[in-house]
Amino acid sequence: MTVALPPDLRAAVGRLAATGTLLVASDYDGVLAPIVNDPAKAFPLPAAIDALQELATLPRTSIALLSGRALVDLARLSGLGGEALLVGTHGVEFDDGFAIPPEAAALRARLLDELRPMVAAVPGAALEEKIASVAVHIRNADPDAGEKLLAGVTDGPGSWPGVHSTAGKKVLELAVVKTSKGTALDVLRERTGADAVLFAGDDVTDEKAFAVLRAGDVGVKVGPGETAAEYRVDDPEQIVGAFALLAEERRLHVGT
């Protein structure tokens, strides 16, 4: 797929291709997979997986997905297995295991008890359960009723001690442990020994990852909205074009 890229990003990709050890990390929804109404049917663009898999075959090159999804859903939807490092639940669920502390599990159970009737009262609203968080989705609800529901959740269970609320795209995420894609990206950098990192994201929670990028890294915001990322593309098709270009140029540098 040949996609036009902003010239500054094209140049940054060229520099990144020549780095010693490289980590390419990406958010999932809104970046690899276009936003759709049903979260269970958010599949990645085939070209995204092709480009990432190609990068993963190259020497001194690692790929990672860093998502708000539950790890099990991230693996199922992306179809990526051992070639990628997968991190779910906004940075807390690594693929070498995550055990929710008992008090957090009890809080999550209380949250669910409170949220189920609130969500059931709004047609189209839905709950998504994850190991250490719960997401309240309103994409398929009447817009006013949906916003009212999120306001009620924010002021109600979202304000309980120990509950961390984050607004996303037509969703409110309530976590019972502290989550940070930034901390997770630091861990991935350390584990892979990366000299430089590319991170692509589209939503509010991705800002924590952009914030830990260093000189020589490349952060790409996908779509509109305020961001700390240095580069921006319009949509998933364009970021996939950047991954494909990176794979092509990196292959020339690492010589396979």
DSSP E strands in the chain: the ranges are: 22-26, 61-66, 84-88, 93-94, 126-129, 133-137, 164-168, 171-175, 196-201, 218-222, 231-233
Tell me the three state secondary structure of residue 85.
Answer: strand
Per CB under 6 A, which of residues 75..104 are in contact with ligand L263DTV3? none
Out of 100, 171, 197, 240, the only residue in the binding site for ligand L263DTV3 (CB under 6 A) is 171
Does the footprint of ligand L263DTV3 cover residue 63 (CB under 6 A)? no
207 is a contact residue toward ligand L263DTV3 (CB under 6 A): no
Quote the tokens at residue 243: 């991954």
Residue number of the CB atom closest to ligand L263DTV3: 68
Residue 46 to residue 28: CA distance in whole angstroms: 13
How far, in Å, CA of 19 to CA of 218, rounded?
12
204-208 — which CB contacts under 8 Å span 24+ positions?
204/166, 204/167, 204/168, 205/68, 205/90, 205/166, 205/168, 205/173, 205/179, 205/181, 206/27, 206/181, 208/91, 208/180, 208/181, 208/182, 208/183
Q: Does 236 bind ligand L263DTV3 (CB under 6 A)?
A: no
Token pair for 17 = 């291709």
- Least separation, in Å, of the C-beta of 254 and ligand L263DTV3? 28
Angle between helices 143-155 and 102-120 (to 10 degrees): 150
Nearer to ligand L263DTV3, 4 or 36 (CB): 36
Give yes or no for residue 168 binding ligand L263DTV3 (CB under 6 A).
Answer: yes
Between 110 and 169, whose beta carbon lies closer to ligand L263DTV3? Answer: 169
Q: Is 27 a catalytic residue?
A: yes
Residues 33-62 that bind ligand L263DTV3 (CB under 6 A): 35-37, 39, 42
Residue number, 169 or 251, with CB nearest to ligand L263DTV3: 169
- What is the footprint of ligand L263DTV3 within residues 12-31 (CB under 6 A)? 27-30
Q: Please identify which of the residues 8, 27, 29, 38 carries the catalytic annotation.
A: 27
Q: Which of 19, 61, 62, 67 binds ligand L263DTV3 (CB under 6 A)?
A: 67
As annotated, the active-site residues are 27
Give me the residues that bind ligand L263DTV3 (CB under 6 A), please.
Answer: 27-30, 35-37, 39, 42, 67-69, 128, 135, 137, 139, 168-171, 173, 203, 205
